[in-house]
Amino acid sequence: MEHKISKISQGKAYPYNPITERFEGEIEEKRAWVNDFYRSIGYSLFLANQENDTSLRQSYILLDNAVEQLLKSYLKNVTKIKSEKNEIQFDSLISKAMDNIENSNEILERILEYHKTRNKLYHSSVYLSISKSRFLDYLDDVFLLCKLMGFENISDIISEEFSKIMQQLSNNRTEMRYQSLKQIGDKLKDNFGITPGNCQGDILLGNIPGDSFGAIDATKTLFYGIFGREEVNGKKARVLEIIEANEENAFHSFFISHANSVTWYCLYNCFWSKWGEGEKRDIQQIRELIRQNEDKIDYKVDYIRKGFFQNAFDSYFTGESI
């Protein structure tokens, strides 16, 4: 096998790494099929960590597919075995791998069994699920097989790939949150004439979404605190009510701030009414409180499409997925 090749340089022997097609001591540059394998395993691990039946099934299928592609690429590119067909049956693939990867028989026999489980998950007409422990058993054997094939630091590399996926997900959520907050900021600026160049300030959840009683209490607390502060152009508070337009069950959200503050408290999706008409009692309570203090409050109403700023707040607190 090509594992035996070595290179002599300055009196030292450098073994050949068939995975990178380079001699140790030289700069490593992973080949495309190797990088694809690492990424596939990373995504498979990400899915498994969601720990629901759907993601576990898909993670197991993706892991098995990655192993199959790895073996095909390894036999073609490293051991230089040519197949008469473009596709090799999995049983034949396992047999060829046993012949070309030393001490691999027991592991590959288990992988063959894992593959049979994958076929059941993929092709069965009845609903089947897979446990995370079964997935992890398969993954452990994949790591063992990779070490026999010449992969180095396989566990560390997969952990790094998994971390990249999580970081990208975090970056995507951060960008979505930034864009959503910017949309809210634009609404506040448009309604209250805030100079476009100025920052509208912080936007904070003022209450748990869906809790109308808590939202009413929070509104009273905010108003009574704000009313004790100074006036700005004859007003003490700013309130923007935003309603989902053209929705039968339309949510109402309220943004509340002192007239000279850059901090806004948002009562997000705490109230709803038919077609946004605001006929429900809890919304009427908020509006009556505003009416009773209209001399102190700069009150505006605006409309948005459903989900306009859904991503502005952490899904942990809103109960919504991003």
Identify the residue with better confidence: 13 or 139: 139
261-274 per-position pLDDT tens digit? 989 999 998 999 99
Are residues 76 and 100 in contact, defined by beta-carbon separation less than 8 angstroms?
no
What is the enclosing helix (H) or strand (E) of 13? strand 12-17
β-pair partners for 9: 12
Torsion of CA 58, 63, 67, 72, to 10 degrees: 40
Q: Is the pLDDT of residue 2 over 80?
A: no
List the domains of the chain with CATH numbers.
Answer: 31-152 (1.20.120), 172-318 (3.40.1530)
pTM equals 0.60
Q: Which pLDDT score is estimated for 321?
A: 52
Model confidence over 135-169: pLDDT tens digits? 999 999 999 999 998 887 888 888 899 999 999 88
Q: Is the pLDDT of residue 19 over 90?
A: no
With a cut of 60, say whether residue 86 has pLDDT above it. Answer: no
Instruction: Tell whether the torsion through CA atoms of 62, 106, 153 and 17 is positive or negative.
Output: negative
List C-alpha distances in Å: 322 to 5, 54, 59, 246: 51, 18, 21, 23
Which positions ≥6 away from 257 have C-beta within 8 Å?
201, 226, 237, 238, 263, 264, 265
Degrees, nearest 5: CA angle 57-63-66: 140
